[in-house]
């Protein structure tokens, strides 16, 4: 059989299947005569396709296909003839249903927003370039974006002058030693509403603004650029306070001079924000096997009373990723830098041992909040205890609910994760392409 004859027979089979689809979807809208005629011509064509090659010549098959096509066209509606839009809408709908099913029951993509699980997983991190040297060129920026999800920020000084850093966040204890920012409404991918933080530095009295994601803080970028001799920006602030060099900010508040003078057009800050690790969450396994101590778990925060909004009492509707460190009945204690479970150093994950030994950038467990030095916390029935691998910088079960108004703090089990809210386990880091790419720890 020639190639063209095989192709014709394949098209004929597809036409018969299309006739079945028209009859299935539109039978109640079609007159009985049309139904009978389509069925007869379909059966006739099917019969020809089952006969031997010698008795079903291509010309005969083509004529039968033309007759079936002519009968179906007036009655096919949106089903037949197949249009580009109709065919692709159906394909996209099937793909969307399949994707939703996979996401709901098997693998859900998740982006790490913060560095509470560092160095196991990375949230958004900064790469700072010297303002006295040339930063990355256009091709390097594109390469960093593709491989690391890095977005470059580089704003020039509008005028010549000294750089001043405002500290405008005031609490009951006084001024916070953090660069001031203003939350602003923004758009993600030009469509989705989101929130960003606007930081403004001043050069010669003129503001220079940087708008960064809400989960990112600019303090480390400022420190590396203007105060590299200090371990933190807070240390630089406290030193300026002791020396009496703090000044009144251009728009109120407190500011710290940098003693760094720029020329007009020179970069005020030049840095990349590398995207947080993007991983798949295994939503399937926990339907059959319960989570265990050491698992990197992803959970909903809606039912954690300690994570409500302090002003409105509204629940935090987010997903968090932390390490499961305790289950019902477990008693936890931190004896820096080791986390103890039921009186013994905790086991069950490499991160536990690395934190205990403070190796490979693991900082060790910090005695804070409910697990301050000498204090213990016992997990109630139906809950688990969650902590970040980056213990000093992780807001977790140790601290959730502390500082809430009394009306909200009276709720039971403020700081534990309900077992039913654990949706899955970190499974595979698929982006960016760093040394962490691959199976999640």
pLDDT digits (tens, 9 = 90+) for 313-350: 888 889 999 999 999 999 999 999 999 999 999 999 99
CA distance 13 to 158: 71
pLDDT at 54 over 60: no
Per-residue pLDDT band at 305 (split at 50, 70, 90): very high
Q: Which is more confident, 387 or 6?
A: 387
Give the containing element (helix H, strand E) for 272. Answer: strand 267-274
Extended strands (E) in 146-240: 151-156, 161-167, 170-171, 174-175, 181-188, 192-203, 206-213
Nearest partner of 19 among 36, 33, 3, 6, judged by Cα? 36
pLDDT at 105 over 80: no
Q: Which is more confident, 234 or 168?
A: 234
CATH number 3.40.1710.10 is the correct assignment for the domain at 279-439? no
**% of the chain residues with pLDDT over 70:** 92
pLDDT tens track for 113-161: 899 999 999 999 999 999 999 899 999 999 999 999 999 999 999 999 9
CA distance 7 to 363: 66
What letter does residue 276 receive in the DSSP assignment? P
In this predicted structure, which of 53-57, 191-195, 201-205, 276-280 has the lowest mean pLDDT? 53-57
CA distance 292 to 314: 30
For 84-101, letters b (16+ CB in 10 Å) and e give: eeeeeeeeeeeeeeeeee
Give the pLDDT score at 192. 74
**Strand partners of residue 152:** 272
Extended strands (E) in 284-420: 296-300, 319-326, 331-335, 338-341, 344-345, 376-378, 383-387, 417-418
CB 46 within 8 A of CB 64: no
Provide the residue ranges of all domains of the chain, joining segments of one domain with +.
3-80, 125-274, 279-439
pLDDT tens track for 167-188: 865 555 555 668 889 899 888 7
Give the containing element (helix H, strand E) for 219. Answer: helix 219-226
Identify the three-state secondary structure at position 350: helix
Give the pLDDT score at 280. 95
Task: Tell whether pTM > 0.85.
Answer: no
Q: What is the maximum alpha-carbon separation in the chain? A: 104
Alpha helices in 27-83 (DSSP H): 32-50, 58-72
Interval 353-377 mean pLDDT: 97
């Amino acid at each position: 059989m020639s190639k063209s004859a095989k192709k014709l027979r394949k098209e004929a089979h597809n036409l018969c299947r299309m006739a079945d689809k028209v009859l299935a979807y539109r039978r109640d809208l079609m007159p009985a005569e049309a139904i009978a005629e389509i069925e007869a011509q379909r059966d006739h064509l099917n019969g020809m396709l089952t006969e031997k090659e010698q008795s079903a010549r291509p010309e005969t098959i083509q004529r039968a296909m033309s007759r079936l096509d002519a009968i179906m066209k007036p009655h096919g509606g949106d089903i037949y003839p197949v249009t580009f839009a109709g065919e692709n809408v159906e394909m996209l709908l099937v793909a969307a249903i399949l994707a939703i099913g996979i996401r709901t029951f098997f693998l859900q993509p998740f982006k790490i927003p913060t560095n509470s699980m560092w160095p196991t997983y990375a949230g958004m991190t900064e790469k700072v370039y010297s303002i006295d040297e040339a930063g990355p060129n256009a091709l390097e920026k594109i390469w960093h974006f593709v491989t690391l999800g890095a977005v470059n920020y580089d704003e020039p000084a509008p005028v010549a002058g000294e750089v001043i850093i405002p500290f405008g966040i005031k609490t009951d204890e006084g001024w916070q030693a953090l660069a001031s920012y203003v939350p602003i409404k923004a758009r993600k991918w030009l469509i989705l509403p989101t929130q960003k933080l606007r930081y403004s530095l001043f050069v010669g009295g003129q503001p220079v603004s940087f708008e960064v994601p809400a989960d990112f803080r600019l303090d480390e970028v400022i420190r590396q650029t203007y105060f590299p001799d200090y371990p933190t920006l807070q240390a630089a602030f406290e030193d300026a306070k002791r020396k009496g060099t703090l000044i009144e900010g251009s728009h109120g508040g407190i500011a710290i001079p940098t003693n760094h003078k720029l020329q007009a057009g020179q970069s005020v800050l030049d840095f990349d924000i590398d995207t947080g690790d993007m991983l798949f969450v295994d939503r399937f396994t926990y339907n059959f096997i319960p989570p265990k101590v050491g698992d990197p778990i992803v959970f909903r925060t809606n039912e954690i009373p300690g994570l409500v909004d302090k002003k409105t009492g509204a629940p935090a509707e987010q997903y968090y990723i932390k390490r499961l460190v305790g289950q019902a009945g477990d008693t936890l204690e931190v004896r820096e830098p080791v986390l103890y479970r039921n009186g013994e150093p905790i086991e069950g994950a490499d991160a536990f041992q690395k934190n205990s030994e403070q190796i490979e950038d693991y900082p060790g467990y910090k005695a804070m909040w409910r697990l301050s030095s000498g204090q213990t916390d016992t997990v109630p029935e139906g809950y688990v205890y969650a902590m970040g691998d980056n213990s000093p910088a992780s807001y977790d079960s140790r601290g959730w609910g502390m500082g809430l108004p009394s009306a909200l703090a009276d709720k039971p089990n403020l700081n534990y994760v309900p077992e039913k809210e654990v949706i899955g386990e970190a499974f595979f880091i698929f982006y960016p392409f760093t040394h962490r790419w691959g199976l999640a720890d």
